[in-house]
Structure 1
């Protein structure tokens, strides 16, 4: 199936001598009755031994066998990420060939039940494929299969036949084998060359990341334009790179071709299409629940629920539970720990977030998202030393340096050091444009526009917003620009962007229940109608404590409907109601982390309490803001206003 963007592929272990082991029929069937696997066992797939001299089979047969075995709800292949992690602990390079001997050692170290090794050889003008399953602990042969084919074009069908026989003989019921047994040529591609490119794409993803893998997946779909799994992989890679528009285009193509995929792959394609392309998180949730039920040993539906479905819906407790299930099913998948940590932050459980990082560290797992999590925990604890340690540790490390630089800029803006923060953003934007990552660059410009808008530098937000829209017009850039322009008073342009969002993404949960009501509320305030703004925001209530899509791809947008409602109550001179809304923001720092509305909420609370005549609480709120901004740029308008308003209370 399609593996996760951080490196999921189940790969197979199949080197084998072509000479078959001769067993009597009676002994053969007795042996198989005695040596079945269970639905708790894991297996390792080695690289196929290829003695044909034809390089098209290298890596390709292993990938094909993995696809076939991943159709099984009963079997569980050790993930490629776990194999690579184990190889690194063994002092092996990430591109080491997984020979039967090396696979056997990985099998023992991961406490797996069996290693599968396969082979392909010439026999005259024919090809002979073999597959052998061996108990890692005892060395006993669990199963041995062999098939002869006359033509190279028949090799993929032979893999299908071998995989199906293996599944039934090691203990899977005939019912599930027949139900989930799409032929390999139909589940992937009838082209060996396209499957070879696809296999190389996943191999490169594991060792070098998604950017380097894209050309291989593109080559796969050039060879076979109906290769659904390759389009799905492209959607995943581009999405992980922040290039969501081209990612969505490939995900849509995969969805259109989903009938050319295995059942497991169809679930992946459909869930990813609903979650990331249309943005319909309720449909994505239903797909993932059905997926988890059909494939109880598959971790991907749980990671989707934890990563981008339940957070959008504001179901952070459920998201944390799904992250824990991800870890249980894939204990060496680093993203599982990062998801548990980030969802713990959303629940304002800093201790649980730190515990997730510790658990990953104990397994010697390190990925950029865990470094970012450590930085965010330090930020929320006010631990500047811890933040600086993470900045220093990330320097020069691909992925981690960029992520932490992003959040470092947010932390600077949060404390009012806008010039320094904006300078960092512009540098990041320039680097992104040099790397041809226009959407990433657009996101950086959008953030700059939002900071200027929230901190009162109107009409300064407009140039940054327009620069962002010139670079890209994905839904997050349009939303961020619309918010910035609406706050700055450019209602016409903000309205145009909002209408376009509604027309382009009619199913998107974040667009319908977060983006549109928020921007329209700000527009109503521009027209002097706070009652209308409050009414428009009613639709956002069920999801307002969620992490909308923009927080996942662009790090802004959490709790914006609440902030807009607070602003509306202030405009309506309803101080108590305004204070209630801004207090919600203050009470959930782990949802926002460094978003500008977090610090703004303290200032707005001061205004709300002043409106109520509660001078004591007003003074405290203003002081909270001024303390956070003690090192702020002196000329930021909102700081001047806060100082003047605070002075009047003394």
Structure 2
């Protein structure tokens, strides 16, 4: 403050004037209340005093805004930048968004001191007047929130001295917003904007009654915007070439968050398309992991922000990174420079929101944008530590996506709709992408996913065949994903191997980890599934709630009931309400029926899936009438008679009827016949489930003494298995076939044949019903010790009784009933009685 000399009145002095205005200050007081607002403004005044002393400025006036004088323009700019940063920090500490507009001008002013008597009655100690003051005021009023506007003379002097600001000076963007006319001033003035990369709005101000854009008739608005972008980008480019070279502690398989791309070209078509292209290019790396857009949206929701239409800037991207465990933030920018496309990426430390380094590249030719992205991605990966040979081995974007920017934009819009749960609209965008480029393999693969979500197997398989024919045009990871789903749908006996290979190649790709775990669980290999489920729950997983639910199922199968309940509670807290079913199963398995009933009561509305657990828990407690009611309720809401859920519900009612000493024959025949008929439907995605449901009906029919129905179903299903892909090598299918055959042999009195049937499956991953029929065979063979050993096995694995999920948990009720049995008392096959 002592650095500003005290001139006499009538002695004009050249000074820098800075005027600021705290945006929406009145609404802020109303929102916070008087006391909290007063505390905030006291901290604000402390900030201003500190920055004023630091920048050698003199505070002339303050209310909602500030008027300061500086000897040098660079000191005024330094104050303005520090003031904006200080406001962000004050607001962040209170969950507020504090922004100020600022106007900076250099001109002559008159200053004079008021008398002590005038000061005592409220006058300012120092008065400032002159044309420079209203000019600065007009600039400030014109600025957008968070924007610093300068006059041409102020811009010239500050840009020349910007090196005095140190590293901050290297991060500044300068942009001309053209010539403006201010009310009451005879000449026009060029207006500039200055601010830090990623923070300044970098948008032209809006005209007002007191300030308006002066555009010659011969100048087209589009041309002016392009020119301003070129000017700003050239400055950025100069900074890129003189950037410092700090390092970042980035290791292999660390995560990055990608902020929204800033498009300075004026071509809105590039907004979504290049953002998507940059992600695809970067995701070819097995060294760098990219937090998905879906995961970013989830983080924004947890931050209580609406992700729809929200610009993920440096600040938001940094907070997402801190929440998701990412090491770096990437802020991409695209600009047009002299007809060439320049793509730049700022690598930001999320803890400090400061740039670590910047990479950039230019593209030329018809697909200039995609070429520039490829080049900048390679350099970025190398700078983050990836070996050059692997970074450069990635295939060009036009080869693994499309050379059509329009098709890429349609694909990006489809991805956005799919991630938001609007699958039907997503398909429309994917179709549009394919119309624009029929060779766009990623769009075909996306359609496969959508059709199967919508249960349109016929369309899904057709899209799958096209995607397979174009697999050479997919990025490596997506090519493996396509192969996994191809095996899943057309050769299920090979699916586990395909997913396991993908999980090994991409250990941080949650879908691969999920699918390996599901496959292993389906074969009762819960111990092997555990590490994959744990991996799928990683902090950067797209769907952590689904991963937690899967982990609960694995722990249930391993008999860790408390661990299963804890994981399911976490999944439910994260939004996956279906995990209430896992809580119920684990609680019932440990015989905490009160908790089980409580968890099931949390399932809102009629639910054909929850009816399975309700029926099983009732059977577990010997409440047969209630079990039948729950099973019937599940049948009532099971949907179309063509649906698998309807066939399964019929079977569940049959089991409940048997426990009520009712004859289940009609329902068994109906459920079995429907399952067999479903195997003849081309393109059915429920082939394995229907085959296993039919076998389960055969097992139950044999246990009820209906050997004829059991034989008929076993024969018909076995004949079809030879024609259906994947069934012959499926362990679960073969094991359930052996169990059905064993019960048929027992009914015929051939104990030795029964034992031979199930002997190959008496291992660590036996199914529950395999051990049940083995126990009965040993009893009939007079092997009391062996039968007792099987009984102990069954009782010690109540978690498995609930956790096995062949044919959608269709055998759960039988398993649970058997877990409570003593030695099976089944001396002869009799129809119309309770389960043995």
| Secondary structure of the corresponding residue to residue 289 of structure 2 | coil
Query: In the alignment, which residue of structure 1 is the partner of 2:813?
Result: 596
Shift of 1:463: 1.7
Residue range with higher mean Cα deviation, 216-225 or 419-428: 216-225
CA pair 500-371 structure 1, distance change in 2 beyond 3 A = same
Shift of 1:408: 2.7
Query: Match for 2:720 among 494, 500, 517?
Result: 500
CA pair 422-213 structure 1, distance change in 2 beyond 3 A = farther
Residues 42-53 of structure 1 correspond to what in structure 2 (within 5 A)?
42-50=255-263
Query: In the alignment, which residue of structure 1 is the partner of 2:387?
Result: 173
Structure 2: distance between partners of 1:360 and 1:327: 10
Structure 2: distance between partners of 1:24 and 1:118: 15
Shift of 1:75: 1.1
Query: In the alignment, which residue of structure 2 is the partner of 1:394?
Result: 603
Shift of 1:317: 1.9
Query: In the alignment, which residue of structure 2 is the partner of 1:372?
Result: 581
Residue range with higher mean Cα deviation, 92-101 or 224-233: 224-233
Residues 527-546 of structure 1 correspond to what in structure 2 (within 5 A)?
529-542=750-763, 544-545=765-766
Shift of 1:176: 1.9
What is the Cα-based RMSD across aligned positions, in Å?
Answer: 4.0
Q: Is the Cα contact below 8 Å between 1:197 and 1:220 reproduced in 2? A: yes
Structure 1: distance between partners of 2:758 and 2:593: 36
Query: Match for 1:514 among 735, 742, 753?
Result: 735
| Secondary structure of the corresponding residue to residue 280 of structure 1 | helix
Q: Deviations over 1:158-178 (max 9, x none)?
A: 432332222123322102213
Query: In the alignment, which residue of structure 2 is the partner of 1:461?
Result: 668
Q: Deviations over 1:285-327 (max 9, x none)?
A: 4x4554444445444443333232x223433222112222333
Shift of 1:530: 3.9
Query: Match for 1:131 among 326, 332, 345?
Result: 345
| 1:182 to 2:398 alignment | no
Structure 2: distance between partners of 1:49 and 1:278: 45
| Secondary structure of the corresponding residue to residue 359 of structure 2 | strand
Q: Is the Cα contact below 8 Å between 1:194 and 1:223 reproduced in 2? A: yes
Shift of 1:195: 3.6
Q: Is the Cα contact below 8 Å between 2:611 and 2:630 reproduced in 1? A: no
Structure 2: distance between partners of 1:445 and 1:253: 37
Q: Is the Cα contact below 8 Å between 1:475 and 1:501 reproduced in 2? A: no
| Secondary structure of the corresponding residue to residue 348 of structure 2 | strand
| 1:350 to 2:561 alignment | yes
Query: In the alignment, which residue of structure 2 is the partner of 1:269?
Result: 482
Structure 1: distance between partners of 2:460 and 2:781: 43
Query: In the alignment, which residue of structure 1 is the partner of 2:540?
Result: 330
Structure 2: distance between partners of 1:45 and 1:518: 53
Query: In the alignment, which residue of structure 2 is the partner of 1:623?
Result: none
Query: Match for 1:76 among 259, 283, 289?
Result: 289
Shift of 1:495: 1.0
| Secondary structure of the corresponding residue to residue 605 of structure 1 | coil
Residues 548-567 of structure 1 correspond to what in structure 2 (within 5 A)?
558-567=767-776
Shift of 1:359: 5.2
TM-score, length basis structure 2: 0.60
Q: Is the Cα contact below 8 Å between 1:521 and 1:564 reproduced in 2? A: yes
Shift of 1:269: 2.8
| Secondary structure of the corresponding residue to residue 39 of structure 1 | coil
Q: Deviations over 1:403-424 (max 9, x none)?
A: 4345334434654345313322
Q: Deviations over 1:64-100 (max 9, x none)?
A: 2212111112212123343122211221124243432
Q: Is the Cα contact below 8 Å between 2:513 and 2:532 reproduced in 1? A: yes
Structure with greater proportional helix content: 1
| Secondary structure of the corresponding residue to residue 504 of structure 1 | coil
Q: Is the Cα contact below 8 Å between 1:132 and 1:143 reproduced in 2? A: yes
Q: Is the Cα contact below 8 Å between 2:364 and 2:371 reproduced in 1? A: no
TM-score, length basis structure 1: 0.75
CA pair 576-498 structure 1, distance change in 2 beyond 3 A = farther
CA pair 98-288 structure 1, distance change in 2 beyond 3 A = farther
CA pair 413-424 structure 1, distance change in 2 beyond 3 A = farther
CA pair 120-445 structure 1, distance change in 2 beyond 3 A = farther
Structure 2: distance between partners of 1:578 and 1:164: 65
Q: Number of paired residues?
A: 576
Q: Deviations over 1:598-631 (max 9, x none)?
A: 24425763435x97xxxxxxxxxxxxxxxxxxxx
Query: In the alignment, which residue of structure 1 is the partner of 2:250?
Result: 37
User: Where do 5+ consecutive residues of structure 2 fail to align?
Assistant: 1-197, 203-228, 803-808
Shift of 1:346: 0.5
| 1:341 to 2:560 alignment | no
Shift of 1:122: 5.4
Shift of 1:157: 3.7
Structure 1: distance between partners of 2:592 and 2:785: 33
Residue range with higher mean Cα deviation, 339-348 or 260-269: 260-269
Q: Deviations over 1:199-257 (max 9, x none)?
A: 33432333227676555556555665554444544554555667778766655654554
Shift of 1:529: 3.8
Query: In the alignment, which residue of structure 2 is the partner of 1:638?
Result: 833
Q: Is the Cα contact below 8 Å between 1:160 and 1:183 reproduced in 2? A: yes
Shift of 1:120: 4.0
Query: In the alignment, which residue of structure 2 is the partner of 1:312?
Result: 522
Structure 1: distance between partners of 2:729 and 2:247: 52
Q: Which has the higher contact order (CA 8 A, sep 6+)?
A: 1
Structure 1: distance between partners of 2:428 and 2:781: 56
Query: In the alignment, which residue of structure 2 is the partner of 1:407?
Result: 613
| Secondary structure of the corresponding residue to residue 34 of structure 1 | coil
User: Where do 5+ consecutive residues of structure 1 fail to align?
Assistant: 1-12, 546-557, 612-635, 643-650
CA pair 566-505 structure 1, distance change in 2 beyond 3 A = farther
Shift of 1:186: 2.8
Q: Which has the larger radius of gyration?
A: 2
Query: In the alignment, which residue of structure 2 is the partner of 1:284?
Result: 496
Query: In the alignment, which residue of structure 2 is the partner of 1:551?
Result: none
Q: Is the Cα contact below 8 Å between 2:695 and 2:736 reproduced in 1? A: no
Structure with greater proportional strand content: 2
Residues 249-260 of structure 1 correspond to what in structure 2 (within 5 A)?
254-255=467-468, 257-260=470-473
CA pair 392-249 structure 1, distance change in 2 beyond 3 A = farther
Query: In the alignment, which residue of structure 1 is the partner of 2:41?
Result: none
